[in-house]
A and B are shown apart, each in its own frame.
Chain A
Amino acid sequence: MFFRVIPSNWNWSWNQMRELVMEKKYHRQPGRYSKIAAIMSALIMGLGQLYNRQYIKGILMLACYVFGVYTAITKLPHAFWGVVTLGETETQLKKVGKLYKQVMGDHSIYLMIEGLITIFIMIVLIWLYVLSIKDAYRTGKLREDGVKPNTFRQTMNFIASYRFPHIVLAIPMIGVVFFTIMPIVFMILVAFTNFTRDTMPPANLIDWHGFETFIDIFRIKTWSHTFYGIMSWTFIWALLTTLTGYFGGFAVALFVEQKGIRFKAFWRTIFILPFSIPMFVSTLILRNIFNGQFGPVNQYLSLLGFKKIPWLSDPLWAKVTLILVNFWLSFPVSMLMIIGILSTIPKDMYEAADIDGANGFQKICLITFPSVMFSMAPLIIMQFVGNINNFNVVYLLTDGQPVNEDYQFAGHTDILISWLYKLSMEQGQYNFASVIGIFIFIILSVFAIWNVRRTKAFKEEDAI
């Protein structure tokens, strides 16, 4: 207890009176509960909660602690050993009794994955541990202020109301972590090994190679030539496809939405057709339409007297065909979106322009185009990034052909991602493929983070 000198002044402020009242209501005690609770929880998870008289919560946390310690002692060392060494015993033929039997050695990849998962679970448990210490400390502080700590029921209610988003998001997040994040981490790790189809476990052991594969890509002439060539084509491809898709959609939208065009819905429905046919079907169909010898396009050309064009067999023409096909597939979406945006542009701007004597072209450049650009800009950037990885079209239409002998396992129309596919699925060079994968990852992340933070949907709409 401490004593307060009460001023013998009748002009007490409201705050001073309030302080007096509060001092009488709650017993302030010097900071004991919070520190002790925190230390107890630091020693053994859950003890602090028990000390704070939150029994059920404390017992649950104690159970977590026991589980965590058990896992740490039994599984963690093996996991670390597995990840670091990737196995030491090879699969061998051992003499068992009178026969030679194949005795399984260590499976490097399984060791890596299991190790990863165990380490990840330990990280989660440690995070929970830290949370429990914080929780014990805070509850202790509350007790110092004289407030009774929550019962378990109250805790559950609190979680249901205030932690709803966290709980709801937990389910999708688990899926994302397991099926998106974990595989990417695995891929990054494989890039540092010598894992290829020729050294498949469990017959072989895999070793860490460090940055050797990275250096190889730039040092060995064929690899670096391939890498630069494919990377530049990937960027050109993404740029051209995004531009053609966008401007094509824009032009068609303008045509359809002009005053005086009848049957607007009919035109829109027809133009949606390329988008509505499943992409792999239409790409395979187009591959046959553009077939150099038998396809109908060349047939019509020869009927009209032109020479047959090597749509898919000449390197340059193959690239043109790819861009053309992608344009066919992608302009409906742009067109639809732009039609939507066009309808939101206020008509009076056009009328004002008419009064000022602007002709059609000027109106498009100065009114329509900027308005559309403003709404579409982030989407265009996303499209660009997406096109960098447009695997389906390239693989299904040309399969990266025509073959380029200068390139290492790649053709003229391969982009980074289709090369990655060939490297891993067809050639089995998993570590090289993973290195390429890391490059794609870095390129994507830079664009994505830059773009995402700028998007209007992301900037706070809290202004409501």
Chain B
Amino acid sequence: MQPPGGTLQRLTLPSVKHLVAVTSGKGGVGKSTVATNLALALQMHGRRVGLMDADIYGPSIPIMMGVPHVDPQTTPFPIERFGIKLMSMGFVVPANQASILRGPMIHKYLTAFLTQITWGDLDYLLVDMPPGTGDAQLSLAQTAPLSGVVAVVTPQDVSLTVARRGIEMFRTVKVPILGVVENMSYFTGDDGKRYEIFRHGGGQKLAKDVGAPFLGEIPIDPRVAECSDAGDPIVHKFPDSEVAKAYLTLAGRVAEELQKAGPPQELPGLRM
């Protein structure tokens, strides 16, 4: 199915080496948190990174990256913050206003974000996806030169079963699954003990079930939420924290998997 009134013209992003979607079928697993911190961790590895918020209805990137209020009339996009180039619907629509849109408009905005924003030379452009397997996911898979997707899950079954559907969608449309990352994996108490608040091993099990690499575990730390709400992600604010170290390891794994996957392949066409 193609978007009504839209086209399925393949978009080209010649200045972006890898377009990577951070995704999950499930909401609330920390896709935006993982996307922002992964972006910063990749940058700490010396890469040029952009972060595009594809959650048109519920953009989170502006608050998490500390640019909640901008005047779209006078601000050139993308906005740069902590060295990361950013674009989000949150920059365009005021916080007290809802984006009430049907699917074709989602396709239109995502296409505009990808092609009408001067992203410049980037090693990685991360796309923070909304939950689900609908318009945003389909639009990207059908038109954007995705190098792959990173699937975010939390350990409990209710998250895994929905995340699995998300992964199966990208498999169906033949976008490489770079791997599974388990967020909110465990909490290390003051006593040094590991508490597995949302159960154990779910991410690893899912990765095994779908035959994708397991990219790592991100621990729980109350400072993650504090830092995100304050607009200064934990990887930037507390680079020596256990969470930041987990993100740096994750960034290395993602880069490694992208290297193995190579540039996105393109199917040949035929014009009469």
Whether A associates with B in a native complex is: no
A residues neighboring B (CB under 8 Å):
none
B residues neighboring A (CB under 8 Å):
none
